[in-house]
Every structure is written in structure tokens, then in C-alpha cells.
A = this chain, B = another copy of it.
Amino acid sequence: MKVLIALGGNAILKRGEKGTAEEQMTNVRATARHLVKLLEEGDRLAITHGNGPQVGDILLKNEFAKAILPPMPLDICGAESQGMIGYMLQQGLQDELYAAGLDLPVVTVVTRVLIDQSDPAFANPTKPIGPFYTYAEVPRLQQERGWKMVDDSGRGFRRVVPSPSPVEILEGKTVAELFESGTLVIAAGGGGIPVVRDNEGVVKGVEAVLDKDRTAALLAEVLGVEILLILTDVPQVYLDYNKPGQHAIEELTVQECKRLLEQGQFPAGSMGPKIESAVRFLESGGDRVIITSLEMAENALAGRAGTRIVR
């Protein structure tokens, strides 16, 4: 089967880790082992991934150095993170492929994703990014940098940026051709580098972040895969998550997803975008979405684990 894998941040860096290159490569190699098992089963894979911790570190390094070096805007930081994570995945995957006796090119494509400059998200930035600041620093940052700042769950103040909807994967045709020719292609990392096309037709980077699962749904459509496999830190989707009566779901239809989204069962910061992305992919002609953990990926593809979402 043709499968697009959407790797969560924890496939590359686990909570509580410092973020050293060694930690990340260790995690990536473990991730690669799971993915190579799927390849050994005969599945055809493409890979996309989150970039939260990595782009967070890049932003923080920019802030530390800003007295001397001009900080890079978010689109460029996103591009850096695609190079970094793509490279680590290439290394891990190619070694595990070699160990498994499989010979498959593994390639990362730097990927831009077009968004609509009139997307309503631009009027209402909601996505916190980068370092935490104290209340005292807020007015200066708002004035000097033009940032919108919010109190992030009482942990401090952070910049918020828009999280608009992906409209077109600009390198989509090439990614699809590579996938068709049998290349293990890594694309649209961190949801893609956000760009808009202005009224003169010029494509410009913007200060925004894209939700990686929403972009994954679009990429799955472009690639024509049957299955979108969203790997996260839980083995299944839950109803009443973290509440009394929490229980795992084996299967959901698009209609059930819509109803549960309306009921507010899936929070905006975590499961919500995954379920919305599942709906989008299935309504665009996709066959199946599976949400599970990396460890359960094989079993879930075989129908023995995870949460299946179908039309």
C-alpha cells in the first residue's frame, strides 16, 4: 500500500531531552527501524514530520545572538529545520535500509507551502512560538519587533503567529514524481515553509507556522496515497481524554469525526488538527487515516491497533 507517514515531534526529540544531536540521532534511528519494517512489509512510504522543538531551538539561538547577528524570519528558520531534520532522517533511514539489505534512495525536498494572504488566521494569530519572556519585556518586543504576545498557560509570555491553512504544496509535483519512481521522499517538514503569492505574483515568505498534520493531509492527496498514517505519542484516539471515563476508539467515520469535533472532544493544540486533517484527506478521496504511536505503526497498518478513520 502507498502510505504517507506524518511523524510527530517525539519521533525526533522526546520531552525532557536536552536536544543534543546525539539524542536526536538516537531517536531518529529508532524511528527509522520502525519505518523500515513497514518497507519490508512491502508498503511504499513517503514521510513528513513536525519541527516544533528544532525550530524552537533555532529561534532561541537567533534571540541569543541578536545583538551581533540579525535574527532570521520564521520562513527561513523553518527552511533550516527542514534541512536539519531531513538530513537526520536520511542518515537514520539509509543505515536501517542498509542493515535490512534494502537499496532505496532517501531524499529530502525543501518544501514551500502556499497559503492565502487573505486567510483569516492572519487577523488572529494563535500559535505560540519561540522563547518565553517576562511581562516586563512584552511592551518592548511588541514595539521593536511588531510581535503579538500572549500569556502562554501561565508559563510566561510568548510571541504568537498565525497558523493559516495550507493551499498548495509548491514542490508537490516533484515530490510526487520522486515518490512514484520509488524514492523514499521526505517533504513538507514542519508543515512546509509558509509563503504567499502577492498581487504582483511574487512569492514571499511569511511569519506564520503551518500545522504539520493539515499539510500532511494535502500532501497525501497530492501523492495519491491510500493511507495517511499519523504517528503521535498515544497509541489511539481517546474520547473524554484525561477525564473520568476516558476510552480508546478503534474506528471513526468522517461523520462521527465531525460530530465529535463540534462537541469539542479534540483539543485545538493536539488531537483536533489531526482529526480535521483526517476528514480533509478522506473527503478528498483518501481511503483511510490511522492515528497511533510509532511503536504500534506496524500493528495499526495490519488493522490490529490504533484508531482507524474511514469515510
| Residue positions of A touching B, CB distance < 8 A | 18-21, 57-58, 60-62, 64-65, 68-70, 72-73, 75-76, 79-84, 86-88, 90-91, 94-95, 98-99, 105, 107-110, 112, 170-171, 173-174, 177-178, 181, 183, 193, 195, 201-205
> Is A90's CB under 8 angstroms from B70's CB?
no
User: Inside 8 A of A84's CB, which chain B residues have their CB?
Assistant: 72, 76, 79-80, 83
Q: How far is the CA of A90 from the CA of B21 in the complex (A)?
A: 28
Partner of A109, one of B20, B65, B94, B108: B108
A273 CB to nearest B CB, Å: 24
Q: How far is the CA of A159 from the CA of B90 in the complex (A)?
A: 28
Partner of A76, one of B21, B70, B170, B177: B21
8 contacts between A and B (CB under 8 A): A21-B70, A61-B62, A64-B65, A65-B65, A87-B205, A95-B202, A107-B174, A174-B183
User: Inside 8 A of A58's CB, which chain B residues have their CB?
Assistant: 80
A208 CB to nearest B CB, Å: 15
A137 CB to nearest B CB, Å: 17
> Is B70's CB under 8 angstroms from A19's CB?
yes
User: Inside 8 A of A20's CB, which chain B residues have their CB?
Assistant: 70
User: Inside 8 A of A70's CB, which chain B residues have their CB?
Assistant: 18-21
> Is B75's CB under 8 angstroms from A69's CB?
no
A13 CB to nearest B CB, Å: 11
A167 CB to nearest B CB, Å: 16
- 14 new A-B contacts at CB < 8 Å, known A109-B110, A174-B183: A57-B69, A60-B69, A61-B65, A79-B83, A79-B84, A80-B84, A83-B84, A83-B110, A86-B110, A87-B205, A91-B112, A95-B202, A98-B202, A105-B173
